[in-house]
Structure 1
């Protein structure tokens, strides 16, 4: 459960901003207004720009995540704990029907874990030192099952497609609003778009972007329930419930860097509509109800 979008969305936003600045500086979108607003061309333009950021974010996600938490990938296990961790991920990933992800540890004392990567068979699963210390092996196994569930469910790819689509509509409608303000309200009759277009479209993009984020957050919350079910299937329902209860008892605040909070397992949402995760209580209750059905 996280407070806001992590590395994926930050990279996505950064790419879109850079592209938007380049487009405006060099006037590359001038053709959209040559003979009035061409909605068909505008939609194609929005589609290209909208998906560029999300696809680049996906392709960069694993390397950026490693850098963000200074994760150490276990290539040659050095102790019993690392041997157990690698063996457990191998067993769970085989049961889930995916290739063995990279396994990493990051030195943080809050209990957390995350999974990321562009492809199911080329993913990364990382756990914090605090998770390994504060939980039993069965509970850690359940957390690993949850993260492998994210990978097996293709959540990263689905999030990319969803983010690309909401990006597209944000850009599309922001440009329309900017055009209406410039041409209809401010009555700009020149061949070039005026300052009103640029200000209005940027403002509209911010407002629409906030609304779009709600959609992405709703999907993120939904995928947590699915990943919990995957964790219950891979490692046992009682183990998954016990792991969530252990997280709820933890007094440590989640300490994942802002860049990758959306990929983790622990956190507290500051507002329901903008939380990437349901509450731990809701997740535990959901697991108990599905067990009874």
Structure 2
């Protein structure tokens, strides 16, 4: 779901930028010396900063997602629907070999669902009110299986590791760009770097960070196919296909808000590079072929 992945990426980028500002303000640029850039020290610095940003984002992911959508965690089921949700998640979690995640509902009338959390056995699965109203139980069950598949596959941890790697190169090359701007373009000949270095490196970090999102989004699209297979295994292939078809129909209905929805977001043209999910028709076709 876009809310989960989008929040992770934006939090990660924000943490990286804040760390960079602090480093520049307090003069912690140990990779800068009288001879210029010490590339070895710069790489170690980039590695530490890059993985710090992604790990903090991962640890904050569950809390951030709850706050972003106003999710209400079900502790004591208030009705049969909530009881069924809890029972379904419990059964599929056991089948997937993980501890039962927290189950939550959030008040969004578009069909949405997501799973997040830093650890397989400390995760959250949330569904929107709109999903429960627009799909039947077989279809909702498949969506739950899809989200539990994300947890069982360790997708958030893998996403964090990938984000840490791309962060490292973003920080590394942003510093090189900042140094070149300061010394070559602005011709700063002082002992240290000037304001041009700080401004250029932070701007380069933001631009490179956005480009790096393309790599992370490509992985995100790949893992959706795996989560669909998990949904087919934990529920049934027919249910998973029916859920994707129901989502496809709901996206065509004019009364639904024009926004990125559910566990089926995809884009067209250039925006496809920033899409967290492949096109629904491709996912349906892949499930049918694999049958």
TM-score in terms of structure 1 length: 0.92
Secondary structure class of the residue paired with 2:133: helix
Secondary structure class of the residue paired with 1:269: coil
Partner of 1:219: 219
- In the TM superposition, residue 289 of structure 1 has moved relative to its aligned partner by 1.3
1:26-45 equivalence runs, <5 A: 26-29=26-29, 31-45=31-45
State whether residues 17 and 202 of structure 2, in contact with CA within 8 Å, keep that contact through their aligned partners in structure 1: no
Tell me how far apart the structure 1 counterparts of residues 151 and 98 of structure 2 sit (CA, whole Å). 8
RMSD, matched Cα: 1.9
- In the TM superposition, residue 50 of structure 1 has moved relative to its aligned partner by 0.8
Q: Structure 1 254/67 Cα, relative in aligned 2: closer, same or farther at 3 Å?
A: farther
Asked if 1:237 corresponds to 2:237, the answer is yes
Task: Output one character per residue of 1:149-197: Cα deviation in whole Å (capped at 9) or x when no partner.
Answer: 0000000000101111111100101111222232234432211102332
Tell me how far apart the structure 2 counterparts of residues 22 and 195 of structure 1 sit (CA, whole Å). 14
Partner of 2:128: 128
Tell me how far apart the structure 1 counterparts of residues 110 and 176 of structure 2 sit (CA, whole Å). 46
Mean CA deviation greater in 196-205 or 15-24: 196-205
Where do 5+ consecutive residues of structure 2 fail to align? none
Partner of 1:101: 101
State whether residues 182 and 188 of structure 1, in contact with CA within 8 Å, keep that contact through their aligned partners in structure 2: yes
Tell me how far apart the structure 2 counterparts of residues 102 and 176 of structure 1 sit (CA, whole Å). 44
- In the TM superposition, residue 254 of structure 1 has moved relative to its aligned partner by 6.7
Tell me how far apart the structure 2 counterparts of residues 108 and 74 of structure 1 sit (CA, whole Å). 16
- In the TM superposition, residue 13 of structure 1 has moved relative to its aligned partner by 1.4
- In the TM superposition, residue 74 of structure 1 has moved relative to its aligned partner by 0.7
Q: Structure 1 235/160 Cα, relative in aligned 2: closer, same or farther at 3 Å?
A: same
Task: Output one character per residue of 1:206-239: Cα deviation in whole Å (capped at 9) or x when no partner.
Answer: 3322221110010010011110011011101010
- In the TM superposition, residue 2 of structure 1 has moved relative to its aligned partner by 4.2
Partner of 1:278: 278
Q: Structure 1 3/102 Cα, relative in aligned 2: closer, same or farther at 3 Å?
A: closer
Tell me how far apart the structure 1 counterparts of residues 79 and 58 of structure 2 sit (CA, whole Å). 32
- In the TM superposition, residue 26 of structure 1 has moved relative to its aligned partner by 1.3
Tell me how far apart the structure 1 counterparts of residues 290 and 153 of structure 2 sit (CA, whole Å). 18
State whether residues 3 and 267 of structure 1, in contact with CA within 8 Å, keep that contact through their aligned partners in structure 2: no
Secondary structure class of the residue paired with 2:276: coil
State whether residues 110 and 254 of structure 1, in contact with CA within 8 Å, keep that contact through their aligned partners in structure 2: no
State whether residues 9 and 213 of structure 2, in contact with CA within 8 Å, keep that contact through their aligned partners in structure 1: no
Structure 1 segments (4+ residues) deviating >3 Å: 1-5, 184-187, 253-256
State whether residues 228 and 287 of structure 2, in contact with CA within 8 Å, keep that contact through their aligned partners in structure 1: yes
Partner of 1:269: 267
Secondary structure class of the residue paired with 2:216: helix
Higher relative contact order structure (alpha carbons within 8 Å, sequence separation ≥ 6): 1
Tell me how far apart the structure 1 counterparts of residues 3 and 72 of structure 2 sit (CA, whole Å). 25
State whether residues 2 and 276 of structure 1, in contact with CA within 8 Å, keep that contact through their aligned partners in structure 2: yes
Tell me how far apart the structure 2 counterparts of residues 5 and 138 of structure 1 sit (CA, whole Å). 26
State whether residues 265 and 276 of structure 2, in contact with CA within 8 Å, keep that contact through their aligned partners in structure 1: no
Partner of 1:192: 192
Count of residues in Structure 1 that have an aligned counterpart in Structure 2: 285
Tell me how far apart the structure 2 counterparts of residues 85 and 73 of structure 1 sit (CA, whole Å). 12
Task: Output one character per residue of 1:6-48: Cα deviation in whole Å (capped at 9) or x when no partner.
Answer: 1111111121121111111111115523432101100111111
